[in-house]
Structure 1
Amino acid sequence: MLDEAFVVIVRVVISFFSLLIFTRVLGKQEVGQLTFFDYINGITIGSIAATLATDLSSKVWAHWVGLTGYAVLTGILQYITVKNRYLGKVLDGEPTVVIENGKILEGNLKKMRIKMSELMMLLRDKGVFDITQVEYAIMEINGGLSVLQKAKNLPVTLKDLQISSTPSNLSTEVIQDGIVITQNLQQRKKDMDWLNKNLQANGVTDVKEVAYALILPNEQLYIDKYEDNIGKETDMGDYEGPY
């Protein structure tokens, strides 16, 4: 039993540092930037690393060679996609226009196997609820949707109005799950008296009533209570049912 435990520990160390080195060498990519192939490849490499650590029925060497092989091939494909534009398109695909001048291109949606409901969800995620406002919508190779609204629907900026602006600041959380974060309160040069005064001004008598609170960039206090009291919630479903 102890011998097996020692072997597993050694294999875990080998697997862990091999995976660490390979991921460092292959570079940094956010999950949202990964193509579908990159995502599946990452899962496969992780699965091999896990098997290397725990499968005592086979030799470490075989799993390590498999892990190294996947990492090397991934690195080669990354190099190819950077150096050769044509092969990069073949391997990673290319962006596809799915909406043009407010019209959905159903043929392109079918080629990408994307349902209409999924497209609508991606548009809402971009803050677009009226499809007629869209000039172009492009499905990126990582599955994300880029949206260009029509010029008349774009928000007016301070630059457009030739109005000077002040630098933007960050919001600071000061209450989370009914607990005051005193360190953050002090960083914004506030004290408990200031906090209690603002809570009372918003009808909060006990900090335990607050789920989340922020000091906004304009020094105002944003409060979200556990009891929202918003009445009947908006139902996004399109059928009667329990879910």
Structure 2
Amino acid sequence: MNEAAVVLVRSVISFGSLLIFARMLGKQQVSQITFFDYILGITIGSIAANLTTDLTSRSWTHWVGLAAWALMVFFLQKVTLKWRKASIYLDEEPVIVIMNGKIMEDVMHKLRYQISDLQEQLREAGTFDINEVEYAILERDGKLSVLKKSQYLPVTAEDLKITTPYKGLGTELIYDGEVVEQNLTFVNHDRHWLDNQLQAFGYQSPSQVFLAVLAPTGDLFIDGYRDNLKKYVDISDYNGLR
């Protein structure tokens, strides 16, 4: 029973420490994670796990190690932001693997990047014909950015000289049955207007609505808790889900 209590206390300490250090390190660890960042994350997580369950040693030693690793990562982030050479050495740079439609074999050999990997990532980027590719850049996080040749690019409204309306972001007016009053005020509307809109869609109160979003164009999207679909589309081939 005492061991369980110790593990519980250590878990709270470890969880709180990770939360603080994660906030301190920011989003770089997730948004543009490199292989080195991945290793650092695993190491910090392993230290936190030992802090929680390793009862053969004192907890403060693990916490010092956890704090030291987090501070070293924080310091490394500051160095790479200020010193370009350090950033290139640690995180490397994006590398062109296809240039002007030609595969850069020497670059791929240097990166130990196989042609099968290239083809797979091209397919993931929506390109199944390598003849369509003008440039392909292997980013620092291992993802492949693809620029197709001009004749294979989709036609845009600008190409056709068509004027399009401003899209922008929609504003949530109802979220999970609750009216977001500040957003309603922001779009210069009141509850009376919202109630009229809901009634036009067949809803008697906001509690019947799962989500309501007002687009910049003035169009209102409303999704209720009951969809009243006459026919459900089933894409599963497993009978147990039906």
Once the 2 structures are TM-superposed, how far is the Cα of residue 145 of structure 1 from its aligned partner? 0.7
Once the 2 structures are TM-superposed, how far is the Cα of residue 114 of structure 1 from its aligned partner? 1.6
CA distance in 1, matches of 2:65, 2:211: 51
- The code of the aligned residue for 2:99 comes to E
**Corresponding residue number in structure 1 for 2:112:** 113
CA distance in 1, matches of 2:86, 2:224: 60
1:122-144, Cα deviation, whole Å (9 max, x unpaired)? 11111111112211111111101
CA distance in 2, matches of 1:193, 1:25: 42
**Corresponding residue number in structure 2 for 1:76:** 75
- The code of the aligned residue for 2:56 comes to S
Among the aligned pairs, what percent are the same residue? 50
After TM superposition, what 4+ stretches of structure 1 lie above 2 angstroms from structure 2? 29-32, 164-170, 182-196
8 Å Cα contact 1:101/1:132 also seen in 2: no
- The code of the aligned residue for 1:104 comes to I
CA distance in 1, matches of 2:22, 2:210: 34
**Corresponding residue number in structure 2 for 1:37:** 36
**Corresponding residue number in structure 1 for 2:51:** 52
Q: 1:191 to 1:117 in 2, by over 3 A?
A: same
SS of 1:57 mapped into structure 2:
coil
CA distance in 1, matches of 2:57, 2:46: 15
**Corresponding residue number in structure 1 for 2:101:** 102
8 Å Cα contact 2:97/2:136 also seen in 1: yes
Q: 1:51 to 1:30 in 2, by over 3 A?
A: closer
CA distance in 1, matches of 2:223, 2:95: 50
- The code of the aligned residue for 2:155 comes to V
1:80-139, Cα deviation, whole Å (9 max, x unpaired)? 110011111011111111011221112111211222111111111111111122111111
> What is the correspondence of 1:166-185 to structure 2 with a 5 Å cutoff?
166=165, 183-184=209-210
**Corresponding residue number in structure 1 for 2:63:** 64
Once the 2 structures are TM-superposed, how far is the Cα of residue 152 of structure 1 from its aligned partner? 2.1
Q: 1:96 to 1:71 in 2, by over 3 A?
A: same
Taking structure 2 as the reference length, the TM-score comes to 0.71
User: How many residues are matched?
Assistant: 192
Q: 1:69 to 1:131 in 2, by over 3 A?
A: same
1:171-218, Cα deviation, whole Å (9 max, x unpaired)? xxxxxxxxxxx745887457899854xx4xxxx4xx4xx33xxxxxxx
**Corresponding residue number in structure 1 for 2:190:** none
RMSD across aligned C-alpha pairs, in angstroms?
2.6
CA distance in 1, matches of 2:225, 2:67: 56
8 Å Cα contact 2:210/2:225 also seen in 1: no
CA distance in 2, matches of 1:118, 1:32: 22
> What is the correspondence of 1:1-243 to structure 2 with a 5 Å cutoff?
2-29=1-28, 31=30, 33-166=32-165, 183-184=209-210, 188-189=221-222, 195-196=228-229, 199=230, 204=231, 207=232, 210-211=233-234, 225-226=235-236
- Structure 2: gaps (5+ residues): 171-207, 214-220, 238-242
Once the 2 structures are TM-superposed, how far is the Cα of residue 36 of structure 1 from its aligned partner? 0.4
**Corresponding residue number in structure 2 for 1:230:** none
Taking structure 1 as the reference length, the TM-score comes to 0.71
SS of 2:17 mapped into structure 1:
helix
Q: 1:98 to 1:13 in 2, by over 3 A?
A: same
